Amino acid sequence: MFNRSAQRSFARSGNTAVATPLPLVLRESLLTGFAAEGLVVPARPAALDALLRGEPAESAAREIADTLFVVVGRDREAELLHDSALATRSKSLALAKLLAVPVETVGVAGLLHRAGEACALRALALAESGTQVRLDAPSRAELCARHQPQFTEQLINAWGLPATVADVLRTWRQFRPTSSRASAVVYYAHLLASEALHPEFFAPGLLRSVGAELGIDAAQLDAIG
């Protein structure tokens, strides 16, 4: 959950950061202005083709991550997204073998599952660099979360992603019986990756409980690592 009461930004003057109110309309324009100019979605990488064929091309996955999840001016946040992307892809591929889900779908979707957030973050960083205004952490997180669906759609269209991958990118956050098997795999892979990267945020037994809903027993979960 985001702290919606945090509506401050930091305007930089020389080496001094000064807290100033940031109107909602300005916060929205930070993203929409740059989205219209198409500056936030990188060109479709040639390396993507190997992943869509289901090839175990980890160098290609890293090349894509290094392009998509690097944001000048928001380096720390981008690094977290970068690590999450690669870890979630790895867990997705492991789960795909257990659950008979197409690796070419969940491998790519796992890698790109937070691409919309990365593009939103890039739009924000570009806007901040042009306005000399920097959002605080709660406002940044709220803004990127709100706008990630529109940037996900831009990426799907710009990269010509297959319908199966596009469906997962749109729906993986909603873990429910009606979700596709591939979406459920990426959702669970995201949880596994997040626990591996940030174990302090996870309660004991949570992942085993979710795994049981997917038909994954404790021994299989331990094998995934």
What is the domain partition of the chain in residue ranges? 8-224
Least confident of 33-37, 112-116, 180-184: 33-37
d(CA 150, CA 209): 32
**Helix, coil or strand: residue 43:** coil
Q: Tokens 């090349």 — which residue?
A: 63
Handedness of CA 10, 5, 127, 137 (dihedral sign): positive
Residue 144 has pLDDT above 70, yes or no: yes
Q: Tokens 């004991």 — which residue?
A: 204
C-beta contacts of 157-163 below 8 A and 24+ residues apart: 158/41, 158/43, 158/44, 159/41, 159/44, 159/48, 160/44, 161/108, 161/112, 162/52, 162/105
Q: Does 80 or 175 have the greater pLDDT score?
A: 80
Identity at 133, one-letter amino acid code: V
Task: Using pLDDT thresholds of 50, 70 and 90, give the confidence band for residue 80.
Answer: very high
CB count within 10 Å of CB 149 equals 14
Residue 65: which residues within 8 A CB-CB, separation 6 or more? 82, 85, 86, 111
Residue 177 has pLDDT above 70, yes or no: no
d(CA 221, CA 73): 38
User: Max alpha carbon distance in the chain (Å)?
Assistant: 57
Least confident of 113-117, 127-131, 206-210: 127-131
C-beta contacts of 197-202 below 8 A and 24+ residues apart: 197/83, 197/84, 197/87
Give the pTM.
0.85
CATH of span 8-224: 1.10.3210.10
For residues 94-109, one letter each, b for 16 or more C-beta atoms within 10 angstroms of the residue's C-beta and e for the rest, the string is: bbbebbebebbbbbbb
pLDDT for residue 86: 98
